[in-house]
Structure 1
Amino acid sequence: MSATIFLFLCLPAALVAQTTYQCPDSTWKLFLRTGDRAWCIKYNDGRLIRDDAEKACRIQGGTLTGFENEEEFAYIRDTAFEAFKKFNLPDGGAYWLDGIRSPNCHGPNNNGCTRLNAFQWSNNLTQGTFAFTKCPAILTLIFRGGEENCVQGSFHYVLPDIRGHIFDFPCSEKDVKVGLSSHSAIHGYVCGTSAKKIGSKNEEEDCSPEDKEEEDCPAEDTEKGDCPSEESEGTRPSTASAQKLANQ
């Protein structure tokens, strides 16, 4: 009985890992963050104090959000700007974001804290200090301490360059005090939530047998059942097909 050896190359076919993320629904916008994280953001209208805005976000399955990069900042800014048009605000308006004053940055001149460390995120869902660079340098009193211990995004129509930048504002207020510009009055809030990971493709290897040995069987051996015939292999129904046929 002779044997014929067929050599097959085993070629790696590694697939780039792909993960699909999904937000709760189409009212949320998906963003990819560093460290294999994905984040959903949603703007909402609402004249609320900070704690009530946080509660409203939690009802929607999220929390007040910060932003980690220019793409997230631009989306929040532009979405809020469009939403504010219907309010016909004369000076501008503001919306709540995440961010609370750091414990050691209270007091005169923020106890020496800078705009990059005067505030911190209320949880670890937003990371980094990029957002705090959006405090405009033109306002030297920004992050000045006192009662203004929460973060808002704001539009100042008289100063169009200040569009969506962040400011400090009293957590328990939604309106500005008499005599101050109404551009800091709260008219909305922005929620965020982690995107759901719904699928992935891991690295795979598509290989054929490196050494496949097939025996060249005489016809008489095939007839005896010692070796399978090409016809029997090619026409044998799969297990699923067999089960389907059995159920007919």
Structure 2
Amino acid sequence: MNEQIALTAERLSLSFRNGLRLFSSASTTVLDDVSFTVARGETFGVVGGNGAGKSTLLKVLAGIYQPTRGRMTKSVPNVSLLNLQLGFDENLDARDNIVLSGMLMGLSRKRMRELTDEILDYAELDSAVSMPVRSYSTGMKARLGFAISKYSRPDVILLDEVLSVGDGHFREKAEATMREMMMGNQTVVFVSHDSGRIRELCSRVCWLKDGRVQMLGQTGEVMNAYDEYILRK
């Protein structure tokens, strides 16, 4: 594999069987023949309408789903999916989830405990630090998850709409952190409906439509076509 490539998707397809009927062969295809590469240090965007397969694709890249056909290969040790509904033990508090999340990314318990105060300070959870995560708002979970990724620094971060959540202050801080990661050669795959952020942060974009790659290429070219398509709908 090319040492400059972090992730390679080769003709990825994923289908789910419809319902629970034992002898039913009917299925729904969520991803269909998706191929692309993500270079080390690149911020790679994924766009598309609701149901296009964007979040499912991230779960395949993270190894949560195994493709029905095709192959996803990586040349880096750690790929972390930062999703607002994924990755925390809802019964644990913020400190324990920080340690658990870091260990799942391959960091030691000792290292995550050393980072805990910095992570909590960044996440701005205040008095909620000792409360179970199940009591957190969506925005609080987003802040905690983003803070863990900032300080644990996995080789590839998969971001699913996280920058669109929370108040204006945290969004600005998260975007500043994203730029800092990009300058520091962090590899990011970024799913968003926000055309402006995709244009600003990403070097290349994959446009998914009905689970297939509609267009893949430089950000300006793909987003011009995508925005025109959205306006025509």
Q: TM-score, normalised by structure 1?
A: 0.29
* Larger Rg computed on CA atoms: 1
TM superposition score normalised by structure 2: 0.30
Question: Which structure: greater helix fraction?
Answer: 2
